[in-house]
Amino acid sequence: MLQQNPWRAYTLLAGLIIVWGINWPMMKIGIEYISPLWFCAARLALGSLCMFLLLFGMRRFRLPTRQDIPNIITIAIFQMAIYLCMISLALQHVNVGQSAILSYTSPLWVAPVAIFIFKELVSPLKIIGLLLALIGVIILFNPIGHDWSDTSLLIGNIELFLASICFAITILYSRFAKWYNVPLILIPWQLALGSVLTLILALIFEPHPVIQGGMPLVLVLAYTSVLASAFAYWCMITISKILPAITTSLALLGVPLLGLLLATFFLHEPFTLTLGLSIGLFLLGMALVNIADWLMMRRRAIAHH
């Protein structure tokens, strides 16, 4: 059993990092063969089908209850639909490396809301981590490193910013909402609703999609739906039940780094000093934030005992 062998969980974690890291250049390739919104709709629909088949195979398929509806709708709108659509649209204009970094800035927007609205305690180490990560993002957007007269680049970065905000909303909602069913049971329903919402957006904003059929598109859709969606979500939930949250959170910081390196070597995107310094400070800051959270949870556990 997986629960009796944590090394299998570490193997799954390594696989998850690789799958999500590869997914960034795969998405960039995908939108070269199909319009971005249609790409998202197809990916979500196929991912939903895979998750339904997985749950049937595991004999864990359940119909959602009335109490599950808010959870399904919220995640489907912000994480499944808007988040993925914004990233796919942004990848038309922004390099994979920068896109991957900006999509992981969600904790920067979660922190002030959690602190000032939900009254979460914050330690000096967490503040240092947030400041370092924020400095990394500021360096990424320095005026010298970008041609801000390029309207498409500006639009792409705005789309990535909106994507990170949407993901921050899902983080806050997942943390403070009441869940009646385990997330694994709800994921296929969230993916299904997300695909419907994305299809509506595609019909409105991309009524005449560009679709270059062929094996490359089939392979990209298969990868992003089966591996990067269905397998990855199952993998994430399985890992979360076995490994400490700090281990998973820190390890997943390898995803944007791997995406950046793969884009540099295989898509020949430029790796600049600004980009390297930015991702270095950002990953260090996020690591400190995760460590601070773990230390705070440990102190609370000791206090309860």
Instruction: Write the pLDDT tens digit of every residue in 85-109.
Output: 999 999 999 999 889 888 888 878 8
Statement: residue 189 has pLDDT above 90: yes
Report yes or no on whether pTM surpasses 0.95. Answer: no
Of 228, 257, 236, nearest to 84 by C-alpha is 228
How many whole angstroms separate alpha carbon 282 and alpha carbon 104? Answer: 9
How many whole angstroms separate alpha carbon 296 and alpha carbon 164? Answer: 25
Q: What is the CA radius of gyration of the chain?
A: 19
3-class state of residue 214 by DSSP: coil
Average the pLDDT over each of 70-74, 153-157, 172-176, 241-245 and give the range with the smallest value. Answer: 241-245
Dump the DSSP string for 122-190: --HHHHHHHHHHHHHHHHHT-GGGS-TT-HHHHHHHHHHHHHHHHHHHHHHHHHHS--SS-HHHHHHHH
Cβ within 8 Å of residue 114, ≥6 positions away: 120, 172, 175
Q: pLDDT band at residue 154, thresholds of 50, 70 and 90?
A: confident
- All structural domains of the chain with their residue ranges: 2-304
**Could you give the percent of the chain with pLDDT greater than 70?**
95
Tokens describing residue 61:
């398929």
Cβ within 8 Å of residue 140, ≥6 positions away: 98, 101, 102, 274, 275, 278, 282
How many whole angstroms separate alpha carbon 140 and alpha carbon 280? Answer: 11
**Is residue 145 packed enough to be buried (19+ CB in 10 Å), middle (13-18) or exposed (0-12)?**
middle
- Taking only the tens place, the pLDDT of each residue in 6-39 is 778 888 889 999 999 999 999 999 999 999 999 9
Q: What are phi and psi of 211, to 5 degrees?
A: -130, 110
Cβ within 8 Å of residue 221, ≥6 positions away: 30, 39, 42, 43, 46
